[in-house]
């Protein structure tokens, strides 16, 4: 497990006033550290925290990872390796390995644990509050879609488009397209494909603010990215003396 200490600039006074700093664990279905996601989340928190990162694919070889490929008809995940390359894996394997590393983090005396995936369904932990992006993103999607005629969804892979679904029953029309945060740059085109949607949700924790801006430029629609939404929730969860 990679333990990483993070402190935002000019925040020492806050740390002194609040005493012991909160400790947040981040677990990815890929490899840690997630330098493409975690620093942006920490910057959005507005106060220093200590962090620990762990990945479901840490210390695994390419041959071992290939064995986690999706079965026929199974939902597929895209994730990031430590060297920045993209790999794919099946939902069942991803959730199993992610649950294992989450249970390891549960024994680390953390204040919060964040799963860095917006498509997994996970059980609650025994000791630590678990933040599941899928529940946050899907809940917000359903809440806003209740007043929309058409919403757009951006997922990482073309193979995910036909398989994507929300647990909530929606009356709004859902249009789904894809753009990988780990390979290529399809965000403006994805936005163009969602022209006419009243709001767009980017359904992956690998997206960032620059990718969201390209989707907005292509679509002209207000757009919500999963990591920025989760960061706003975390900011309020850690806002305590």
Question: If residue 136 lies in a helix (H) or strand (E), which one and from where to where?
Answer: helix 133-145
**Residue range 54-64, pLDDT digits in tens:** 999 999 988 99
**Residue range 94-113, pLDDT digits in tens:** 999 999 999 999 999 999 99
Q: What's the pLDDT at 95? A: 92
Higher pLDDT, 170 or 207: 207
Q: Angle 216-219-221 (CA atoms, 0-180°, nearest 5)? A: 65
Report, at the CATH architecture level, how domain 135-224 is classified: 3-Layer(aba) Sandwich (3.40)
Q: What's the pLDDT at 15? A: 35
| 210-226 core/surface letters (b: 16 or more CB in 10 A; e: else) | ebbebbbebbebebbbb
Q: Angle 95-96-97 (CA atoms, 0-180°, nearest 5)? A: 95
Average pLDDT over all residues of the chain: 89
**Following DSSP, what letter does each residue of 197-221 receive, concatenated?**
-SEEEE--TT--HHHHHHHHHHH-S
What lies within 8 Å, CB to CB, of 56 at 6+ separation is: 27, 28, 29, 30, 94, 97, 98, 100, 101
R_g of the chain, CA atoms, integer Å: 18
Mean pLDDT value of segment 191-211:
97
Higher pLDDT, 120 or 191: 191
Q: Which of 50-64, 126-140, 155-169, 181-195 has the lowest mean pLDDT?
A: 155-169
pTM of the model: 0.88
Q: What's the pLDDT at 30? A: 95
Mean pLDDT value of segment 184-208:
97
Q: What's the pLDDT at 194? A: 98
Q: Is the pLDDT of residue 18 over 80?
A: no
Q: What's the pLDDT at 19? A: 57
Asked: is 2-132+229-237 a CATH 3.40.50 domain? The reply is yes
Mean pLDDT value of segment 198-215:
97
**Residue range 35-51, pLDDT digits in tens:** 999 999 999 998 999 99
Q: Is the pLDDT of residue 12 over 90?
A: no
- Residues present in the chain in total: 241
Note whether 2-132+229-237 and 135-224 share their fold: yes
Domain ranges of the chain: 2-132+229-237, 135-224
3-state DSSP assignment of residue 41: helix
């Amino acid at each position: 497990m990679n333990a990483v200490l993070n402190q935002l600039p000019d925040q020492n006074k806050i740390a002194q006033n609040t005493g012991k700093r909160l400790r947040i664990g981040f677990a990815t279905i890929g490899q840690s550290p997630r330098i493409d996601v975690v620093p942006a989340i920490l910057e959005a928190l507005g106060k220093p925290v200590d962090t620990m990162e762990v990945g479901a694919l840490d210390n695994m070889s390419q041959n071992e990872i290939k064995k986690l490929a999706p079965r026929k008809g199974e939902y597929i995940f895209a994730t990031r390796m430590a060297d920045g390359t993209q790999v794919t894996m099946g939902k069942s394997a991803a959730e199993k390995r992610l649950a294992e590393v989450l249970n390891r983090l549960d024994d680390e005396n953390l204040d919060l644990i964040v799963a860095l995936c917006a498509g997994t369904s996970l059980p609650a932990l025994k000791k630590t509050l678990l933040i599941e992006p899928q529940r946050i993103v899907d809940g917000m999607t359903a809440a806003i879609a209740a007043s929309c005629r058409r919403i757009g969804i951006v997922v990482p892979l073309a193979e995910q488009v036909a398989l994507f679904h929300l647990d909530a029953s929606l009356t709004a029309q859902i249009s789904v397209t894809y753009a990988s945060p780990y390979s290529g740059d399809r965000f403006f085109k994805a936005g163009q494909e969602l022209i006419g949607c009243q709001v767009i949700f980017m359904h992956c924790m690998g997206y960032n603010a620059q990718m969201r801006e390209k989707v907005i430029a292509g679509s002209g629609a207000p757009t919500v990215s999963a990591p920025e939404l989760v960061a706003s929730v975390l900011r309020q969860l850690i806002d305590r003396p």
